[in-house]
Amino acid sequence: MDEDGDDPYLWLEELDSPPAVRWVRERNAETLAAFAGDGFVRTKNALREVLDSKDRIPYPDWYGDGLYYDFWQDAAHPRGLWRRTTPEQYRRDEPEWDVLLDVDALNAAEGENWVWGGATVLRPGYDRCLVSLSRGGADAVVVREFDLRGRVFVEDGFMLPEAKSDVDWIDADHIYVGTDFGPGTLTASGYPRVVKRWRRGTALSEAELVYEGHVDDIAVSGGHDPTPGYERDFVGRYLDFYRSELYLRRATGDLVKIDVPDDAGCDVQRDWLLIRLRSAWTVGGVTYPAGVLLATPFGAYLDGRRDLSVLFEPDDRTSLRSYVWTRDHLILTTMTDVRTALQVLTPGASGWQRRPFPGAGELDNAWIVDTDPDNDDSYLTASAGYLRPETLSLGTVGGGVEVLKRAPAFFDPGGMEVRQHFATSADGTRVPYFVVGGATAAPTLLTGYGGFEISNTPHYSGVIGRGWLARGGTYVVANIRGGGEFGPQWHQAALREKRVKAFEDFAAVAADLVARGITTRAQLGIEGGSNGGLLMGVMLTRYPALFGAVVATVPLLDLRRYTKLLAGASWIAEYGDPDDEADWAYLREFSPYQNVRPDRPYPPVLFMTSTRDDRVHPGHARKMAALLREHGYDVSYYENLEGGHGAAADNEQAATLWALTLEYLWRELRGAAVVCGE
């Protein structure tokens, strides 16, 4: 397409127009017909067994009432059960669960297609919650108050119509709410611009105004910390994806801004303010580098003192992945060359004390599942590796660790190994990647993301294991710039006009795989979703000679119009603004939709998306597929009717999408289908 000309496929952005719906149905029918054989069905069924397995770990949430909460989906409950149990029951192989909400039964009763969107539980009462339900898995949700004791929705309780709402409890009779209050109350990104305090028994239109942001902000929100003795209220304003402002809301309604850099993350827990820097900051005569985590007494900081303690400082190989509080301790998760380690920090009269934490094995990944800071210093931790299923453990800081659950193995790892290599990108940067599989050259699935400071860490996937590795394939994960594997600088190295660095990194990994004899160009397939779908589109149009096949899921592909579609305006800080001539000057160079050309050696490509994705518009994938078809390229397309940005609303849909992905790549890279387990 002419990058500055009229868009011939603009009509495909009309979500439910008859011509667009007809086009989608025709493409879906073509794609499904191509996979109509028994091989695809058996592969899909094998993956469905993984997703529905009753031996999976039910990862719990702690809300502070001493119970374990879990949301569970399987073959008998495709839309899921929200349930809870006691710690004693949870230790059993088959716990007795108290079912709070059966979403399938709710759908049958109400004639809806609800998808679970989570719950916000009232603390410290633990008898009410605000349940979020979306139609088909969209980001927009309906919010309804639920009685945890009676296991029913509260008649005349808090309820919000469908919107991208943000809610939090203040007390049993008041909530903070950001939602669509009418014209002018949403940002350009479609999120709340206004936050109000809503009292039970009154109309939403009567809610008290707390704060108004700007239309060009991403969103605003209000929140309440109910920690006994530390009850506080906060208002957050999110200027863009990486800049925000946090305000303490006094009892009088006055707002006190927390004076930290607007690109820093900050968190208040009991006596402490934590500040996580994305850029260097000079304060009190000291300069702290990007990636540092600082701590300071919150009250003293509000009074103007700047006594900061460095809790973590990065180096060229090590970054902070996350942190979480117990009641009296702080647990850090760090990464060195994308390998995780954990440590415990404890504040005291003589400063912060540091102690080691039981970590993960070589090339494995460990993380904190949850803590219960309202009550004690216990924690739930999990670990896994590409070839090692998850283990979930319960521990107490300074005490012992008890293994609670071990996930089953869904494939035989015999003859497989995990290796880490480093490719050299175009500018000389060393880019790490993991290789999982056998020692000989094989069809290879390479994936990556490279955006929004999100890290790709080792994980166990029964779907990839059974659907790819077990049939002899090799799986590769690239840790390219734009992600968070080496802290904020790794992310910022591929922001906006520097985006091409992420693309060069991925291309370098692809070339390195071939140079090492791990695979060949014809046997190298790639897959990515969302921002990773943009990556796939760039690989297709910019580096077509490197790959044998491409799969892009819920992809972002038209950078000329992305800010005008759904939540696209919220990503300007990541990519740039196409309406700014200076930004469009570089965006036009790699925007996939604008860079489709005739008579290029494009490999076969499959696009998959969801009609109900209200984050990345399905028009991106629709238009790209149509344009490639116009030029006669080998392109397949599948659009799930539900699923939101996750593309699937239940395990049946997820199994279909994964089976399409893996079967498509295997056929293109091997020339014929090989069924899982054969």
Instruction: List helix spans (H) across 261-373.
Output: 298-302
On whether both 524 and 427 belong to a single domain, the answer is: yes
**Coil, helix or strand for 642?**
coil
Location of structure tokens 């659009």: 639
Same domain, 458 and 599: yes
- Return the pLDDT at 486: 97
Q: Which domain holds residue 618?
A: 10-49+410-670
pLDDT at 675: 46
Does a structural domain hold residue 676?
no
Q: 544 and 401 in one domain?
A: no
Q: Which pLDDT belongs to residue 579?
A: 98
Residue 183: in which H helix or E strand, if any? Answer: none
Same domain, 527 and 666: yes
What radius of gyration, in Å, describes the C-alpha atoms of the chain? 25
421 is catalytic: no
Please report the pLDDT score of residue 322 as a whole number.
Answer: 96
Same domain, 534 and 417: yes
* Exposed e or buried b per residue across 413-440, where buried means at least 16 C-beta atoms within 10 angstroms of its C-beta: beebebebbebebeeebebbbbbbbeee
| CATH code for the domain in which residue 452 is found | 3.40.50.1820
In a domain, 635, yes or no: yes
Listed residues 314, 334, 367: the one ending a domain: 314
Do residues 433 and 381 both lie within one domain? no
Among 409, 436, 465, residue at a domain's last position: 409
Nearest alpha-carbon partner for 261 in 291, 233, 231: 291
> 240 lies in a domain?
no
Annotated active-site residue in 329, 617, 620, 645: 645
Q: How many domains does the chain have?
A: 3
User: Is 561 part of any domain?
Assistant: yes
Q: Which two tokens stand for residue 629?
A: 């078809």
Q: 581-590 vs 531-542: helix axis angle to the nearest 10?
A: 70
pLDDT of amino acid 2: 55
404, 419: one domain: no
Last residue within a domain, chosen from 409, 439, 456: 409
Residues 401 and 500 in one domain: no
CA dihedral 61, 66, 67, 68 (to 10 degrees): 30
| The two three-digit tokens of residue 7, written as one number | 């868009």
pLDDT of res. 677: 43
* Residue 251 exposed, middle or buried by CB count within 10 Å (0-12, 13-18, 19+): exposed
User: Domain for residue 443, yes or no?
Assistant: yes
378 with 420, same domain: the answer is no
**339 and 486: one domain?**
no
Q: Quick check: is 558 in a domain?
A: yes
Q: Is the pTM of this model over 0.75?
A: yes
- Going along 122-253, which residue ranges are E strands? 128-135, 141-147, 152-153, 159-163, 166-171, 174-178, 194-199, 208-212, 219-225, 232-238, 244-249
Active-site residue, from 189, 530, 591, 610: 530
Residue ranges in the chain modelled with pLDDT below 50: 672-678
Whether residue 226 lies inside any domain: the answer is no
Is-contact 313 333, C-beta < 8 A? no
| Residues whose CB is less than 8 angstroms from the CB of residue 149 and which lie 6 or more positions away in sequence, other chains included | 127
**280, 344: one domain:** no
What SS3 class is residue 352? strand
Tell me whether residue 258 is in a domain. Answer: no
Do 400 and 423 fall within a single domain?
no
Q: Is 645 a catalytic residue?
A: yes
**CA–CA gap between residue 299 and residue 624 (Å, rounded):** 54
Distance CA 448, CA 662 (A): 16
Number of H helices, E strands in the chain: 13, 39
